[in-house]
Amino acid sequence: MNKKYFFIFLPFYLFTFFNGSAQVNQFYSIEYSTGSLVGVSSKFINNYSWRGGQFNAQIFLIDNLAVGFKLGFNNFYSKVEPKMYDYGTGLRIYANTYRYVRTAPFQIGAVGHILPNDMIKPYVGLYLGLCYASESVMVQDVQARNENLGFILTPELGFYLQFGKKSPAGIKFSAAYNLATNHYNLSMSEYKDLQSVNVNLGLTWMVMHR
């Protein structure tokens, strides 16, 4: 480990030092994230989103248990073909609408690794955190927009695939369900929560101390 990497990951080393873990494995992943809104949110946007990414770090506390954080974003988008919207006050609009939900969660969590020393390392995780979300509807060049912050709970399943037994690199595949308390009330819709599922694929760098 050269000095440059040491200083970049100094906070994590300090963290593990104070925990006195006998074996420390660390995972740092940059992931491409796809997903879909589910539940009531899917009435607003039902297209699958291919626009997302996240950064994930995990540090082992004990043999099979790691703690970590993740920071990411997903942009959900759909274009709704022309239809008439009746506001009930005599105002009616016939138009295309463009709908966007942009989420950016920051979460910390615990991750249980089933086979941490194998080349394929499956895991189960539970993350908690905050989620910034913005929801918007565009009609031509006019936009109604709503921004808010909520709590988010994310159970996650996945695995790491190490490129070689001694390789520090690998890929990560994961699937997650997100339940956020973000609520939105735009002129055409109102929802009390924001639910989504994500499928993520990324590249991982692993630091191993034995």
Partner 1 sequence: MKKIIYSLSVLCLFFCACRDVTDLLNDKEQLIAISQVDKEFSFKEVSVFSVNDTIQEIYIDEEGNVIKGKILATYQKDLIIKQMEERGFFYIPLTELLNDTLPDIFIDLLYVENKYAQVSNYGWWYDHYEPSWFNYWNLDTCYPYYPISYTAITSYTTKSFIMDFLYLRESPEHTYNAESCFFGLVRGIADKYTENEIAKYINQCFDQTPELKKNND
Name the residues that contact partner 1, by CB under 8 A. 30, 32, 51, 53, 73, 75, 77, 82, 84, 86, 89-96, 100, 102, 104, 134, 138-141, 163, 167, 169, 203
* Vertex 172: Cα angle to 127 and 22 (nearest 5): 70
CB 61 within 8 A of CB 67: yes
State the minimum distance, in angstroms, from the CB of residue 191 to partner 1: 19
Q: Which is nearer to partner 1, 21 or 194 (CB)?
A: 194
Give the Cα separation of 129 and 116 in Å (integer): 25
Residue 173 is classified by DSSP as E
Q: Which is nearer to partner 1, 16 or 184 (CB)?
A: 184
Distances in whole angstroms, Cα of residue 17 to Cα of each of 9, 24, 29, 59, 67: 12, 10, 22, 11, 14
15: tokens are 């963290």
State the minimum distance, in angstroms, from the CB of residue 97 to partner 1: 10
State the minimum distance, in angstroms, from the CB of residue 182 to partner 1: 14
Q: Which is nearer to partner 1, 65 or 93 (CB)?
A: 93
Q: Which is nearer to partner 1, 46 or 134 (CB)?
A: 134
